Amino acid sequence: MSSPTTPRRVSLLTLGCARNEVDSEELAGRLTAGGWELVDEEADVVVVNTCGFVESAKKDSVDTLLAASDSNAKVVAVGCMAERYGKELAESLPEASAVLGFDHYANLADRLDDVVAGRTVESHVPQDRRTLLPITPVKRQEAAADVQVPGHGWGPRVMRTRLDDAPVAPLKIASGCDRRCSFCAIPSFRGAFVSRHPDEIVAEAMWLAENGVREVFLVSENSTSYGKDLPRELGNMEQLLPRLAAIPGIDRVRVSYLQPAETKPGLVQTIAKTDGVADYFDMSFQHSSEPVLRRMRRFGNTESFLKLVELIREHAPEAGIRSNVIVGFPGETEEDVVELERFLTEARLDAVGVFGYSDEDGTEAEEFDGKLDADTITERVTRIGNLVEELTSQRAEDRVGTEVVVLIEQEADDAADEDCVGRAAHQAPEVDGECIVLEAGDLRTGDLVRCRVDASEGVDLVVTPIEVVPR
């Protein structure tokens, strides 16, 4: 363990989405600035950045906290689950030395000093973070200066330390959400929607490029809302994307978390036609049956979604389109499932996550009648999942014979293994499949390589290098 003359050591464990990954790197930056040394083992404190999105994520978070407590280190919970449950989590998990919310992030180094010294740190008391900012979006920027919003308000200095050397990194453009989907609790603990200043985003992207990143992955709870709370002269996503794509060293900009009802033709065209922006559309459809979508408090239907898919492919025929869908929502009928099947069959998306509905604490849907039994939900997840597997495999097979530009993310293990792994423009990190690059030769992590698609394996592509794209 640390002595009084050596830096105190901390390790960070991150669960959940790419937004949490950005938050962890912010915490790493704040902790190193506060005199803490980042380590992988033999830490004085283990900070677990938890996820509180769905029940399985909460269980993973608790399991990780318990596993961390088996070491000699103090354990501190931060992140969404800690923000959402605070004292309740602390009382049910005495193994954690502290449960800290977003308001603790700015002074986390001091709070960890307290933990190591044995001083009591009061657990976070949850509140609805939507109430911390004005209802009117254009009034939020000034008020946000007095509210702790992870990843915002750093000023000219990038308060971030990279926790890996991957050639792709998430970049937060906004936090929070103004939508009121009946199944989702995220706005209550992430707060109202707040955009980051575009100059701050560009500065961080430049910093990432200087640290070896070639692809930035723009993340938020709702990227289509970016700029709605900013002065008009600061622009929106259509103005931000070309600025990011023009940064030396950044060869690919990827946008995530688009709301179909807010995705306008101008944004589709900007993504499709801007050099350096990936032809990639992460559309949050969730379902396509209009009655189910209305109960979800969402907009759209099969026909409007198909028109959006058609518009995307009109501008970018090879674009990757992914989505998530929820089946088994309260009141969902057989006719609703058939309608979802029709949409998926006609849309031919590249990747689809299929989730069974489960109640979330404090959401409107938790009180809905018409709940389906677990066996029915499981059957529908399997049914839609099998259809999705077939359709996405067909979509990948359609790419055989085409060319893709692959970002190498994993080199060959040794000289005997000549294959390496990367992702094409239509494949986002971790969720959309990968490219297996045959006869990789001297290819290294971070290389961009134009490749020929020779075969497909499910959603994965088997490709052969043609030429390395200059940096």
Q: What is the CATH number of the domain that holds 65?
A: 3.40.50.12160
Residue 407 shares a structural domain with residue 327: no
Contact 82, 50 (CB under 8 A): yes
454: left (phi over 0), alpha (psi -120 to 50) or beta: alpha
Q: What is the pLDDT of residues 109-153, one digit of tens each?
A: 999 999 999 998 998 898 989 988 888 888 888 888 788 888 776
Range of the domain at 29: 8-125
Q: What is the dihedral of CA 308, 309, 311, 314, to 10 degrees?
A: 180
Residue 379 shares a structural domain with residue 456: no
User: How much is the pLDDT for 441?
Assistant: 80
Q: Which residue has the tokens 């790197």?
A: 25
Choose the final residue of a domain: 398, 417, 445.
398
Contact 433, 424 (CB under 8 A): no
Task: Domain count for the chain, please give it.
Answer: 3
Residue 320 shares a structural domain with residue 409: no
| pTM (two decimals) | 0.92
Choose the final residue of a domain: 398, 422, 454.
398
Residue 111 shares a structural domain with residue 238: no
Residue 145 shares a structural domain with residue 278: yes
For residue 451, say whether it is annotated as part of any ligand binding site.
no
In a domain, 3, yes or no: no
Residue 219 shares a structural domain with residue 292: yes
Q: Which residues of the chain have pLDDT under 50?
A: 3
User: How much is the pLDDT for 155?
Assistant: 62
In a domain, 413, yes or no: yes
Residue 48 shares a structural domain with residue 179: no
Residue 164 shares a structural domain with residue 59: no
**Residue 57 tokens, joined:** 């994520």
Choose the final residue of a domain: 107, 125, 143.
125
User: How much is the pLDDT for 6?
Assistant: 62
User: How much is the pLDDT for 275?
Assistant: 95
State the CATH number of the domain containing residue 411. Answer: 2.40.50.140
For residue 435, say whether it is annotated as part of any ligand binding site.
no
Residue 336 shares a structural domain with residue 416: no
Residue 329 shares a structural domain with residue 464: no
In a domain, 201, yes or no: yes
User: How much is the pLDDT for 17?
Assistant: 87
State the CATH number of the domain containing residue 160. Answer: 3.80.30.20
Residue 112 shares a structural domain with residue 246: no
Name beta bridge partners: 77: 48, 99
Contact 352, 344 (CB under 8 A): yes
